Structure 1
Amino acid sequence: MVLNLLNPKSFLLPVFFIAVFANSVKAQDPYQSYRQDWLKKAEDNKPKLIETEKQPVSLVRLEKDPAAFQGWKAINTDSVGKLYNTSFKTQSGVVVDFGEHLTGYFTFSIKSLKGTPDGPARLKFTFGEVPSEVAVPFDPYKGTLSRAWLQDETVTVTEMPADITIPRRVACRFVKIELLGASPNFDFHISSMVFKATSSVAFKPPLLAATTPKLIADIDRVGLATLKECMQTVYEDGPKRDRRLWIGDLYLESLANQFSYQNNQLTRRCLYLLAGLSADDGVLLANVFENPEPHAQAGSRLLDYCLLYGVALKEYVAATDDKQTGLDLWPVAKKQLDIIRKYAGQDGMIDYQKAGKEWWVFFDWKDGLDKQACLQGLSIYALNQTYALAKLLGKENEVDDIPSLARKLKAAAYKNLYDPKSGLFVSGVNKQISYGSQAWMILSGVASKQEAQTALKALSTVKDAVHPGAPYMFHYYIAALIESGLKVEAKEALQNYWGGMVKKGADTFWEVYDPNDELKSPYNFYPVNSYCHAWSCTPVYFIRKYPEIFQR
């Protein structure tokens, strides 16, 4: 375009195009008119935290023990009174046990015993969820996550007496206290300690049936503690780390919550928060933070989590009959289905290679897992579950292509991924066999009930079958066992896996658990693992939803 500089009207044309372009970019946000309302409703549903003061129960000594979890155990040695009534200079390195996992704020009081404080005292506090976390040196640090996630804090006390609250929120059972420096001209002692524990849980769930086996009851107890600790002002994935809301954790926590604490307000808040902070193209971002103001992690695009949002919303609406929230957030659930439409080929197979290049595709902390079958199965599952949500809300006409698309993907999965000779589903060019592939082919309805049972039973005979790497995938394996009617096997698997953590002393269930490798860490340093993690709480859901399986 050539401008006539003598004609003022010629300047109007590019200005017009700029205005149209700006409006079109703005119009690309499909939720523009909804976001502020969603974020307001998220804030309106923010729960008030309940604070409980907890006192330490004993002093412990940490000992190496190859039979203990990660090779360390805590042995009771003295009452806390010994710490309070004795010079701290003689007790540097003492470990205090609060007797349970706590999330919140630690306060200690410090006083002089004799002499005049003529200089500061410097103390180091290390907070641990499990014994190894306060026994294993953090440095030199070789982990792939920020060293700052590790819970050690240095405090310099310049005046005594003093009551000091460590400003950082911590999650722990054990506290190790070391003296880094103090003047030789005076003595002092720690005179008291208190932990202000926080959670949004205010409801005691019903008791299990008297016929419940003890191990199942213990698993339920630890699962409830895990969920309680993660239920802060959002469903946190881990109160130590990462301390934020993830879609995948929200889905599993909300299931467990439905059958225990019944805090529907918290679920509602999280659903609105994720919607309000989604990307401008309508795609959900995988995780969000609350502070200093609500915001999503930029660029956190996790394909399988996007597809689970509509499933979580459907479960919430079905459980609560809160159709208004469902209608408010329907545009978000519907929009995520475009992801499946984009990658579904003419042959009915999801283009896993293309999706894997453009997205983070997770499914499990398991190196080497081929995720083609998992993604195909979840896509079918998400289509069917979101269509069920549409029917609950009277919105079927807006997604009338979904039933046929789901059938097309299902037929393609059966044709391309089922091996009738072995009775197992395979994944990828190497035809990998994994627990995850079988689980998602079953949950999606690709396998008949008989085929599902055959596949799950055959898994144990496959030497190189890829096992779940974390409780997250193990949840879907248990769900597949129940879906296929293998109730005895589901109970046995739950007792073996989560019961294994209980037998190893778990107060809360862990982010990563491999019975054959207790030091496994996705982050190259096991103390930075989360030992209270949201996606591990789902035995609560299974035990309470299916009492005929687990409570007798």
Structure 2
Amino acid sequence: MLLRIYGIFLLLLLLQVGDTYAQKRSNEIELVSPLTRTYVYPTRVLWSEGNLENVPHLLEKGNGQANLTNTNVAKFKNTSVSRSSVLLDFGKEMNGALEIVTGMWPGGGARNIRVRFGESANEAMAELGEKGATNDHALRDIELALPWLGKNQTGESGFRFARIDFLDKDAELHLREVRVISTIRDIPYEGSFHSSDERLNKIWEVGAYTVHLNMQDYLWDGIKRDRLVWVGDLHPEVATVNAVFGYNDVVPKSLDLARDATPLPGWMCGISTYSMWWIILHHDWYMHHGNLKYLAEQKPYLQGLVKQIVEKVKDGKEDMNGNRFLDWPSSEDPKAIHAGLQALAILSLERAAEISEALHDVDTKKLCEETVAAMRKYVPEHNNSKQAAALLANVDLLDAGKAYDQVLSRGGSQNFSTFYGYYMLEAMAKAGKYEEAMAIINEFWGAMLDLGATTFWEDFNMEWLPNAARIDELVPEGKKDIHGDYGAYCYLGYRHSFCHGWASGPTAWLSEHVLGIQVIEPGSRKFKVRPNLGHLTFVEGTYPTPFGNIWVKHTKLENGKIKSKIKAPKGVKIIR
């Protein structure tokens, strides 16, 4: 009997130890970063001044280690009245820190430098406060000491350019290496897009890379400024994640963060539309990945949020409190905002009804459907706003053809925006204007590439183009600084983010409408494949699903008809 009791006690003790170890192991796993570190060396010295020797050596790849030979070092020599400085170009926008490896200067001791980061060359040359240059969210202007025969890291931020100023008087500084420690998720690009239009191909790639950089611990909107989870901004980003990377836990992690940080009756980020986007995002995520258990975890919050939205609808008209916001370019147009809020309230409640049906929540589904029925009896004015007209068309409150003819076609890419441009493109597709939409993508997003961009920007305006200098060169006299001289609202001048995930819409749009691959059943079990080539002679690409990648190739024949080859993984049904 005693042996039996002892045996049970020992078993319980082992189970407890096992549970403790498992919990400890779980905590350890949670602390493992999903990010990898890669070293990136400068591609060119864009500018320098002062007494410098062997600066081109900084372009050579090293081993990150100081040594006693003190060969192959760049030397900065200051007098009592002159300083030595250099501006380095790392070739592309990155999220990361700067690592500097030092040599053996005479006399030993620390040396002091100043580092300035820039998403454009001129931002890296600016003083704090000059044309909006700021240390908000990430430090871009820092003074620090460097050790003799050692190395130091500074940052992190989003940047492509770094200026280093040697600050000490009558002293020498030896640098063996200057490199970026880039932090990024090491994940494959499962989705792809290749067509007869190389400019469209590049735009697809740059949109994908823009979002990839923002997939840090959470899905940010910007890697320099706005290193935050902005829920509305997530919608085009998540569309790009679905089209390029497939499932990634950064999405549910970010959606859960927004939910947990916003107890009802709060609005996410203080903005009613952003809580609506949260509902729409969960619907889209479920359609692509089909995790019903995860969807069920949202049920209590969803029920409360639906009631909160419905309470703000009076006689079929939205009357939302909080910050009434669509995007920045429309932010001073209350009529457009009202129309947009009406459309988004309808869309979010329709998506909530579909979610509720999947969760067998009859009461919430009924509440959504009754409210939507009342809201559809009222059609607000779009006030010639492309944002408002697009949203109204996308929920069928306005005929898409009329929206295009009356508003979206006026002025081409004039009054487009990097965020809501995605929904304008969606409305153009709904109107069957695929060729026109591709022309807008080439003109509007392509213009940023023409200016040297390697990622897409927080905002862009075609009116900024005349006489604008490239961002990868110092602005010549008589030219406009498109970074420092423009911008508005919270993104004036150099505060303007040049890597903003909400600008990636063309990547998702090209996959969905040109490759023609659209999910139509939860869990990616059924897709519609209907290509729209416009001027293209061919397009080929892949789209990720939980079962593997769909591959398509569409070729335009001499008679104008499209020949399609489609390969789908087992478990995925294709409707043509």
Q: TM-score, normalised by structure 1?
A: 0.75
Report the equivalent of 1:189. 174
User: Does 2:183 match 1:198?
Assistant: yes
SS at match of 2:462: coil
Tell me, yes or no, if the aligned pair for 1:62 and 1:135 is still in contact at 8 Å.
Answer: no
1:363 Cα offset (Å): 0.8
1:500 Cα offset (Å): 1.2
Tell me, yes or no, if the aligned pair for 2:112 and 2:168 is still in contact at 8 Å.
Answer: yes
Q: Partners in 2 of 1:337 and 1:148 — Cα distance?
A: 33
Choose which of 272, 279, 298 in structure 2 pairs with 1:329: 298
Tell me, yes or no, if the aligned pair for 1:240 and 1:530 is still in contact at 8 Å.
Answer: yes
Structure 2: unaligned runs, 5 residues or longer: 1-25, 50-54, 61-70, 465-481, 516-530, 540-576
Q: Partners in 1 of 2:243 and 2:33 — Cα distance?
A: 19
Q: Partners in 2 of 1:524 and 1:249 — Cα distance?
A: 15
User: Does 2:377 match 1:467?
Assistant: no
Report the equivalent of 2:77. 89
User: Does 2:531 match 1:534?
Assistant: no
Report the equivalent of 2:361. 395
Q: Partners in 2 of 1:45 and 1:444 — Cα distance?
A: 42
Distance 1:198 1:310, change over 3 A: same
- Amino acid corresponding to residue 95 of structure 2 in structure 1: T
Q: Partners in 2 of 1:46 and 1:265 — Cα distance?
A: 14
Q: Partners in 1 of 2:230 and 2:313 — Cα distance?
A: 26
Q: Partners in 2 of 1:254 and 1:212 — Cα distance?
A: 27
- Amino acid corresponding to residue 77 of structure 2 in structure 1: K
Report the equivalent of 1:350. 318
User: Does 2:307 match 1:338?
Assistant: yes
SS at match of 2:167: strand
Tell me, yes or no, if the aligned pair for 1:47 and 1:265 is still in contact at 8 Å.
Answer: no
Q: Partners in 1 of 2:177 and 2:135 — Cα distance?
A: 32
Q: Partners in 1 of 2:48 and 2:75 — Cα distance?
A: 21
Choose which of 152, 162, 167 in structure 2 pairs with 1:175: 162
Q: Partners in 1 of 2:408 and 2:136 — Cα distance?
A: 43
Q: Partners in 2 of 1:456 and 1:45 — Cα distance?
A: 50
Q: CA RMSD in A?
A: 2.9
1:393 Cα offset (Å): 3.0
Q: Partners in 2 of 1:303 and 1:146 — Cα distance?
A: 29
What do residues 425-480 of structure 1 show as CA deviations (whole Å, max 9, x unaligned)? x34xxxx321011011111211234434433456449xxx9924x31121111111
Distance 1:337 1:212, change over 3 A: farther
Identity within the alignment, %: 18
Between 1:262-271 and 1:436-445, the stretch displaced more is 262-271
SS at match of 1:278: coil
SS at match of 2:268: coil
1:359 Cα offset (Å): 0.8
User: Does 2:260 match 1:313?
Assistant: no
Report the equivalent of 1:162. 150
Choose which of 434, 437, 462 in structure 1 pairs with 2:388: 437
User: Does 2:252 match 1:304?
Assistant: no
Tell me, yes or no, if the aligned pair for 1:47 and 1:200 is still in contact at 8 Å.
Answer: no
Q: Partners in 2 of 1:506 and 1:454 — Cα distance?
A: 32
Tell me, yes or no, if the aligned pair for 1:89 and 1:187 is still in contact at 8 Å.
Answer: yes
Q: More helix by proportion, 1 or 2? A: 1
- Amino acid corresponding to residue 118 of structure 2 in structure 1: G
Q: Partners in 2 of 1:239 and 1:495 — Cα distance?
A: 25
Q: Partners in 2 of 1:345 and 1:535 — Cα distance?
A: 31
User: Does 2:431 match 1:484?
Assistant: yes
- Amino acid corresponding to residue 318 of structure 2 in structure 1: I
Distance 1:330 1:252, change over 3 A: farther
Q: Partners in 1 of 2:288 and 2:208 — Cα distance?
A: 19
Between 1:134-143 and 1:323-332, the stretch displaced more is 134-143
What do residues 154-191 of structure 1 show as CA deviations (whole Å, max 9, x unaligned)? 0123x41221112x312211110112224x2x523111
Report the equivalent of 2:118. 128
Tell me, yes or no, if the aligned pair for 1:380 and 1:406 is still in contact at 8 Å.
Answer: yes
Q: Partners in 2 of 1:545 and 1:381 — Cα distance?
A: 19
Where in structure 2 are the equivalents of 1:135-146 lying within 5 Å? 135-139=125-129
Q: More strand by proportion, 1 or 2? A: 2
Choose which of 255, 260, 264 in structure 1 pairs with 2:248: 264
Tell me, yes or no, if the aligned pair for 2:37 and 2:184 is still in contact at 8 Å.
Answer: yes
Tell me, yes or no, if the aligned pair for 1:110 and 1:163 is still in contact at 8 Å.
Answer: yes
Report the equivalent of 2:40. 54
User: Does 2:275 match 1:283?
Assistant: no
Q: Partners in 2 of 1:85 and 1:162 — Cα distance?
A: 13
